[in-house]
Homo-oligomer: A and B are copies of this chain.
Amino acid sequence: MICTFQSKAQKTGLYKHILSDVVTISSRVLNENRKIYIHYPTPDTANLNKKYPVLYLMDAESHFDMLSQYTDYLSRWDVNVIPQMIVVGITNTKRTRDLTPTKSIINYFGQPDTSAISWMKPSGGNEAFLQFIREELMPYIETNYKTQPFKIFAGHSFGGIASINCMLTHPDMFDAYIAISPSLWWDGEYVLKLADKKLKKASVLKKTLFYSDASEGVKDSSSYHTNLLKFDTLLMNKALNGLDYKYKYYPTETHMTEPIVAYYDALRFIYKDWISPTKK
């Protein structure tokens, strides 16, 4: 019986947010199963062979919804400031192992963490993680989804140093790199030293790079912010040929709120010269 003073209402199902698959890849490189989230644009019925750039995202547990929503919204016909794209979100198994470039037990405060159960013990597996992406994940995505060659690699914190480390050691893997608050403190500023060594002055590096930091250095009086400034100065002095880069500092954001503004700014920066085919 329905009370006549109340409006009728009925639940008509669960809301379908956006299209995404979950794929489990049994990795030979890492000798474990890896769970991958893949978001893709609604198929264009007028052009079923349409191909899309691919954004590979670390820490998918934290930022996959955000990037899926951003790429969908910003590529809508009435917003139209970036192309539609595929977002490949890599979830973590052993995060510290995968995202750090060296084995180190020197913690954020510069002290060795010698405890037997130190979270830093399994560090230094970024090279193998990049091999997994290159040899197993990318072939899967390129076989099963409609991909363009253009690829973006995006990470936050340890994911930020993984992104920069990839650009320095395997620059050809991606076209654009996003490093949000990269942990440049890692292992006595290892990535800063690597950048100085790998990047020869005035050499060619036709890539796009966005990096940023937030209130970390201010909040904890650490060298977080100074390290970002050092990296920025290093890139300026190297005067690389073809590197299109931008640094943004967000002193009013925290380490964890920063990705909301920085991922947006990064996408706008990477596609600042993009002109929608429908606007040409």
Instruction: Determine whether A18 belongs to the interface, using a CB cutoff of 8 Å to chain B.
Output: yes
Chain A interfacial residues counted at CB < 8 A: 52
Stretch at the interface among A7-15, A147-155, A211-219, A226-234: A7-15
Alpha-carbon separation in the docked complex, A74 to B28 (Å): 36
Alpha-carbon separation in the docked complex, A140 to B157 (Å): 43
* Cross-chain contact A73 with B260 (CB below 8 angstroms): yes
CB distance from A212 to the nearest CB of B (A): 15
| Residue of B with least CB distance to A68 | B17
* Cross-chain contact B21 with A14 (CB below 8 angstroms): yes
* Cross-chain contact B15 with A11 (CB below 8 angstroms): no
Alpha-carbon separation in the docked complex, A263 to B257 (Å): 14
Alpha-carbon separation in the docked complex, A74 to B9 (Å): 31
| Residue of B with least CB distance to A5 | B28
Q: Which residues of A, 75-113, contact B by the 8 Å Cβ criterion?
A: 76, 78-81
Chain B residue contacts of A24, Cβ below 8 A = 9-10, 12
What's the number of copies of this chain in the assembled complex? 2
Q: A73-B66, A74-B257, A79-B256 are in contact. Are A11 and B18 (CB under 8 A)?
A: no
Instruction: Determine whether A247 belongs to the interface, using a CB cutoff of 8 Å to chain B.
Output: no
Alpha-carbon separation in the docked complex, A35 to B15 (Å): 11
* Cross-chain contact B12 with A27 (CB below 8 angstroms): no
| Residue of B with least CB distance to A25 | B9
| Residue of B with least CB distance to A30 | B7
CB distance from A273 to the nearest CB of B (A): 15
Contact for A26 among B9, B28, B39, B68, CB less than 8 A: B9
* Cross-chain contact B65 with A72 (CB below 8 angstroms): yes
* Cross-chain contact A7 with B140 (CB below 8 angstroms): yes
* Cross-chain contact B21 with A18 (CB below 8 angstroms): no
Q: Mark A186-198, 1 if CB is under 8 A from B, else 0.
A: 0000000000000
Instruction: Determine whether A139 belongs to the interface, using a CB cutoff of 8 Å to chain B.
Output: yes
* Cross-chain contact B15 with A37 (CB below 8 angstroms): yes
Q: A79-B257, A257-B81, A260-B264 are in contact. Are A7 and B27 (CB under 8 A)?
A: yes
CB distance from A106 to the nearest CB of B (A): 23
Q: A9-B23, A26-B9 are in contact. Are A65 and B17 (CB under 8 A)?
A: yes
Q: Which residues of A, 45-88, contact B by the 8 Å Cβ criterion?
A: 62, 64-66, 68-70, 72-74, 76, 78-81
Instruction: Determine whether A223 belongs to the interface, using a CB cutoff of 8 Å to chain B.
Output: no
The 24 sampled A-B contact pairs (Cβ below 8 Å) are A6-B139, A7-B26, A7-B140, A10-B23, A11-B21, A11-B22, A12-B35, A13-B22, A14-B20, A14-B22, A15-B22, A15-B37, A17-B17, A17-B18, A18-B65, A65-B72, A66-B69, A66-B73, A73-B260, A78-B256, A79-B256, A80-B256, A81-B254, A260-B264
